[in-house]
Structure 1
């Protein structure tokens, strides 16, 4: 996408260039377009500061030189009527600000397209409060006059601003080109560069060009059509889910508001140097989520607690390594291919072990690569509950992290077969006796336990056999499997997950299959994860059984009790 946008502005640019090379060429292009065909004119400083009109209309286009994103918009503003309006991308999103008091408190009406399982691109109107009346021209109190120049055939004034945001540790430089139109000024171009004070590195660079500037607007342009059909959704910032329905990642203003709402919802505390970096990551992930959901691919993504982190930072979520095709259980799988084929007609179409009351609550591995311990422990908990009449026992994942080090590495990952081998030989205590989960590698306390729960052994389910996995679930209980969990899975919200790129990668995550089903002709597995109940469908994901997506049937084990 970045290179496509660059080609739009600089046709013929080589696609083999690095992002830094492209950025430098684009920067040269922008500078040359404004400086290469102009010259500074010496002149006296104006007697007054810049003065914007109290009513105006303009079109503009903001180019983010670091990301390549171009944001066109159309704006109407009237101080007298205490209203303003902005349309993004030729009216795809329309936002109206209705001021209610002289303090500029405003109600906001947003019209935007919505797509879900029932409708595609239906335009809806939402009303919310808690914001200010938007004046879309830049505040000019801190600008100083620099002289005049010729820009696009016009004589324009050059104004410059330099400010330090000591709280956020940034220096912000702005250059504004404007011209006098009667008693007020009209903007032509605004360039803004943000530097990090701690290393003088560039944090942001945008260029906004203003077009078709007028000082008279039509009153009806500020009126919301079908006002009575707008649904009230409360105050902006009170509910992250609602805020993200209203706000849009194409708007830098909305990104600021959405990120603040995100931080409030998840109680995120970012330091001075970290805020802008986290916001940039959040914006990229939010755009990915919005773009995916527009495609209506059968499953949805959502902004969750991981949205301000990179894939590299979230590597701890996926700490399971493949044991390889040669790994086996302590006992062989008891059914031949012929027996499995004979069982196919007797297998129910849908089976959900959660309805049997033998599946323990969803847990959260936190910032520790212990999914191998959580997925194997969940299977043992379910198998024990099935054998003792449904009595759930909360077993200690921390004991595996602390003690099962022969072939595993605690919070740095582990192997599913080795986890079961350790439990077979040593047993596993309850969390109540062993102590709470720590998200850290700790001291092994197994010798001090008065009771451990044991299994007789474990078996490996034949690879790539849907029937074998279903039989294992029906006859023996939950099955621990290795899968590949990529970026989309981290933001999974609902639906049947099928990622075309998922099966091209090695497995990296341990989860527990607790059932299966079919929806609209698509078979799926019911998978219990260890990323908390607020992830996915209450901590679960429905994973497509088509083409062994994400390697669900490649490496699977179940305990024998």
Structure 2
């Protein structure tokens, strides 16, 4: 909730003193917006999803095919060099870097292949001129655009004014909705000021000259943490500084030393493991300076002794052995297009809600021909307390299934964004919720029964023991001998299985974000019921 005031203030600053009236002229409607070919502008971009405000300055010359964009008064600079008459450019990216040898050294990196669009003013289609408006006592033209393609809807509102026969932007608001997932993907408001149609060519020149810039491969070879060693104090200080910068962590002096010590111990464990060349790799990630108590918050699986009415598995062991003969050797529901994107539960023990919702989304997508729904985990966190769940303090997956069976679950777009906190239950005010017809329990410790479920019904909810090795999982087939004698403490979603070098593994979707593991997934060995994955498993019946 701490972010709400900041976002509200930004919203007020973004929509300033607006009023408008309709204009009978349709000439502007026919012309559409025509941005200047040569310009210098200043502005600020407000991201209303994150509350961030980024001031910028841009220079653009189509005739020279050269462009420049600065952020935060030149702290970060990007120069786009192209040949006149050609479309592509080479990007020179300049930014400050500090290490033990120097403070705020300006680095320049050449990026030959880039995703940026050097035309900083967004191309907008013709149409939908809505009239003359007043914007901070300036008379401007107002435009509204809507466009749908590839499952997305973009809504744009633009305020411009004329300079000769070209349009100069004053404010552009862009909202992008994901129609398949039913949610607002992005919402930005960009304000522009200080327009000039004259561009000084010297402003487009890289300050040192392009020859002084490293290419990306050379830069990362010089500065990547993999070149450092946890055995050297100087390297520990440098690595932790880069870690805190990368993950935007700021600590007071005492906490900084405590966090660095945790980071150092975890770094040594990661290096020691990876030097053994086992079947999987670990890496330092966003949890590298967390205490064990902080990490335990993420593992919110609370097994329930209550009978929530799971349907018994419909096949005997003998029937399973016969069915599995006709099943594929490898199977991945992601390839069927029925698995939604990986999400992040944040610092909330809501893994039980995320794995339940992910399994329900997959089952419903299989039933309705592949149309994915982005359902609300927050609704379960807020509303399923009567089903052996305690919101961010954990819950039982069979209780989550029973809640969806009885009450249904709304889309995230209608219910509201995930907060990683306990909230007021709003599920009873929704216009539409999605139900399942039941849920079943997989025969414990029977891998072939699980294969049948994945092929016939869709994803399954499983529990695992998530310890330190899983915390830092990076890639490969995970097998953790330290799980022996532990209990299931984390809920995840099983979406498939495969074989690598003769070893069968499970494909598991986690809820720790796409920056963890293999793009948010972990491959867990199917040998010896590793990490208790087959002890308790449920699947929704759509």
TM-score by length of 2: 0.59
Counterpart residue number, 2:231: 250
| 1:341 positional shift | 1.5
Distance 1:279 1:233, change over 3 A: farther
Distance 1:259 1:471, change over 3 A: same
Counterpart residue number, 1:536: 517
Distance 2:219 2:330 in 1: 43
8 Å Cα contact 1:484-1:503 kept in structure 2: no
Q: 2:396 aligned with 1:440, yes or no?
A: no
Larger radius of gyration: 1
| 1:235 positional shift | 4.8
Distance 2:319 2:431 in 1: 42
Q: Which runs of 5+ in 1 are unaligned?
A: 1-128, 135-230
| 1:344 positional shift | 2.7
Distance 1:311 1:133, change over 3 A: closer
SS of the residue corresponding to residue 505 of structure 1 reads: coil
Counterpart residue number, 2:532: 551
Deviates more, 1:308-317 or 1:526-535: 308-317
Counterpart residue number, 1:487: 468
Distance 1:273 1:133 in 2: 24
Counterpart residue number, 1:404: 384
Q: Deviations over 1:278-297 (max 9, x none)?
A: 10010011011000000111
Q: Deviations over 1:131-185 (max 9, x none)?
A: 6669xxxxxxxxxxxxxxxxxxxxxxxxxxxxxxxxxxxxxxxxxxxxxxxxxxx
| 1:234 positional shift | 4.3
Query: Which of 316, 320, 339 is equivalent to 1:340?
Result: 320
Query: Which of 352, 370, 394 is equivalent to 1:372?
Result: 352
8 Å Cα contact 1:517-1:526 kept in structure 2: yes
Distance 1:276 1:328, change over 3 A: same
Distance 1:281 1:272 in 2: 15
RMSD over equivalenced CA pairs, Å: 2.0
Residue correspondence of structure 1 range 305-324 to structure 2 within 5 A: 305-323=286-304
Residue correspondence of structure 1 range 388-467 to structure 2 within 5 A: 388-406=368-386, 407-467=388-448
8 Å Cα contact 1:329-1:557 kept in structure 2: no
Deviates more, 1:349-358 or 1:261-270: 261-270
8 Å Cα contact 1:329-1:460 kept in structure 2: no
Distance 1:462 1:452 in 2: 30
SS of the residue corresponding to residue 319 of structure 1 reads: coil
Distance 1:327 1:294 in 2: 46
Distance 1:321 1:516 in 2: 25
Counterpart residue number, 1:31: none
Q: 2:267 aligned with 1:269, yes or no?
A: no
SS of the residue corresponding to residue 360 of structure 2 reads: helix
Distance 2:247 2:325 in 1: 48
Distance 2:298 2:308 in 1: 25
Structure 1 stretches of 4+ with a deviation exceeding 6 A read none
Distance 1:233 1:331, change over 3 A: same
Distance 1:447 1:546, change over 3 A: same
8 Å Cα contact 1:352-1:526 kept in structure 2: yes
SS of the residue corresponding to residue 480 of structure 1 reads: strand
| 1:329 positional shift | 4.2
Q: Deviations over 1:380-432 (max 9, x none)?
A: 00000011111000000000000000111000000011110111111000000
Distance 1:521 1:284, change over 3 A: same
Q: Deviations over 1:88-141 (max 9, x none)?
A: xxxxxxxxxxxxxxxxxxxxxxxxxxxxxxxxxxxxxxxxx976669xxxxxxx
Query: Which of 304, 307, 328 is equivalent to 2:285?
Result: 304
8 Å Cα contact 2:363-2:541 kept in structure 1: yes
SS of the residue corresponding to residue 493 of structure 1 reads: strand
TM-score by length of 1: 0.57
Distance 2:469 2:235 in 1: 23
Query: Which of 475, 479, 482 is equivalent to 1:498?
Result: 479
SS of the residue corresponding to residue 518 of structure 1 reads: strand
SS of the residue corresponding to residue 507 of structure 2 reads: strand
Count of residue pairs the alignment pairs up = 333
Distance 1:280 1:344, change over 3 A: same
Q: 2:269 aligned with 1:285, yes or no?
A: no
